[in-house]
Chains A and B, each alone.
Chain A
Amino acid sequence: MPVTVPPVDYRPAVALYHHLGPGNESITSPYTAMLENTYAEICRSNFWTWRKQFEAAQRDVAGLSSLQHGWDTYDAEAPNELARTTAKDILRILEQEALPPSRLLPSREGGITISFAEGSRRAEIEAYNSGEIAVAIYTPTEVLKVWELNAETRSIREAIASIRVYLTA
């Protein structure tokens, strides 16, 4: 007989942990221990780790709005609103597909670079200020594929699927 596991909602425990905090004298030590154990479990969970990474990545994208022209000391354009919106859309899809990037950076090319690295397997999605998107998958010595996308969700989803297949092969 199949066993159904109910979905676990960690939010109350996380909120309590942050609200009460370690060392709070208003709660008993067994309860503190339980909260700390639960919190440690949550920290080990891939889901919550990814969730945290994606929240940080979305904040990073928003933070790029403060960059000025020439931010890189080589006269690069700062990522504009179009590039930031595209990058946020890509991050949303990546989160749905549970594929967190390794790094998100403003690109000297004018836009935002989203990087993936899994051992020697690497990929980049670049969202440009022009609204264009380009993708590359490569090894440390070989470029395997470079292609351009349109900004439609389906097209981005297909590219992400290709990256996932490549990174996990």
Chain B
Amino acid sequence: MIRGDRPVVPDFDETEVLYLRYFRDHFVDGQLSTAAIRFPKQSVNRGLHSEPEDCLFSEQGIYNGLGVVDFQIADVPASVSQTQGPAYIFFLKHVPLPDNYAHSEIWSDQVRGSRNYREPSKTVKLEFRVRLCQRIGPDNVRIAAVRNSTGAITA
């Protein structure tokens, strides 16, 4: 997972898998809750450079009990339009960290190809989060979580 001298890889294939940590109570009736997705710049690990287990690696054990779900780049809504105001486009950006080369972020902007970040409105963000969560069900669980978002451990 150490970055070392490895370069940023800006291109993502539509079929590339992304990994996201989640809590056990993030699943509501068989679907990931919107509570599990955030703005700005939700962090994920790209599958091209990592395995699900890498999401939970910490020498201090801070990720103990969390789980990992996967989804593909194609599952990330490409854009969200609104009746009043501009549409927003969403894209992945590879943002390697010194100890996590696979680290990437979901960015948004109004201009396709700009590679800049612009924060969408609350309703656009919520629609994006709902649409992404619609693509993430129990079949996407790679490592099952046993820890709830409030810290409680559930078997």
| A interface residue numbers (CB < 8 A to B) | 60, 63-64, 66-67, 71-76, 102-103, 105-110, 113, 115, 117, 122, 124, 126, 128, 132, 134, 136, 138, 140-141, 143, 146-148
Kindly list chain A residues whose C-beta atoms are within 8 Å of the C-beta of B15. none
Kindly state the separation between the CA atoms of A39 and B42 in the bound complex, as whole angstroms.
Answer: 47
Q: Name, among A109, A110, A141, A147, the residue most crowded by chain B CB atoms within 10 Å (CB to CB).
A: A109
Secondary structure at the B interface, as helix, strand, loop or mixed, is mixed
Known contacts A106-B150, A136-B130, A140-B134; decide if A76 and B38 are in contact (CB<8 Å): yes
- Taking a contact as CB atoms under 8 Å apart, the answer to whether A143 and B33 are in contact is no
- Taking a contact as CB atoms under 8 Å apart, the answer to whether A146 and B123 are in contact is yes
- Taking a contact as CB atoms under 8 Å apart, the answer to whether B127 and A103 are in contact is no
Interface membership of chain B positions 69-90, coded 1 if the CB is closer than 8 angstroms to chain A and 0 otherwise:
0000000000000000000000
- Taking a contact as CB atoms under 8 Å apart, the answer to whether A146 and B66 are in contact is no
- Taking a contact as CB atoms under 8 Å apart, the answer to whether B37 and A108 are in contact is yes
Kindly list chain B residues whose C-beta atoms are within 8 Å of the C-beta of A140. 31, 134
- Taking a contact as CB atoms under 8 Å apart, the answer to whether B122 and A74 are in contact is no
**B129 near A: Cβ within 8 Å?**
yes
| Interface size class of chain B, counting residues whose CB lies under 8 Å from the partner chain | 20 to 34
Kindly state the separation between the CA atoms of A147 and B121 in the bound complex, as whole angstroms.
Answer: 11
**B126 near A: Cβ within 8 Å?**
yes
Kindly state the separation between the CA atoms of A113 and B126 in the bound complex, as whole angstroms.
Answer: 11
Cross-interface CB contact of B131 among A63, A74, A115, A143, cutoff 8 Å: A143
Interface membership of chain B positions 10-38, coded 1 if the CB is closer than 8 angstroms to chain A and 0 otherwise:
00000000000101011011010111111
| Closest A-B pairs by Cβ, 9 of them | A108-B38, A113-B35, A117-B29, A105-B35, A107-B35, A146-B127, A103-B28, A134-B122, A146-B123
- Taking a contact as CB atoms under 8 Å apart, the answer to whether A105 and B122 are in contact is no
Known contacts A63-B150, A72-B149, A117-B28; decide if A106 and B127 are in contact (CB<8 Å): no
- Taking a contact as CB atoms under 8 Å apart, the answer to whether B26 and A105 are in contact is yes
- Taking a contact as CB atoms under 8 Å apart, the answer to whether A102 and B35 are in contact is no
Known contacts A103-B28, A126-B126, A143-B127; decide if A74 and B43 are in contact (CB<8 Å): yes
- Taking a contact as CB atoms under 8 Å apart, the answer to whether B130 and A138 are in contact is yes
- Taking a contact as CB atoms under 8 Å apart, the answer to whether B36 and A102 are in contact is no
Known contacts A64-B150, A109-B38, A124-B34; decide if A134 and B28 are in contact (CB<8 Å): no
Kindly list chain B residues whose C-beta atoms are within 8 Å of the C-beta of A136. 34, 126-127, 130
For window 84-129 of B, CB contacts with A under 8 Å fall at: 122-123, 125-127, 129
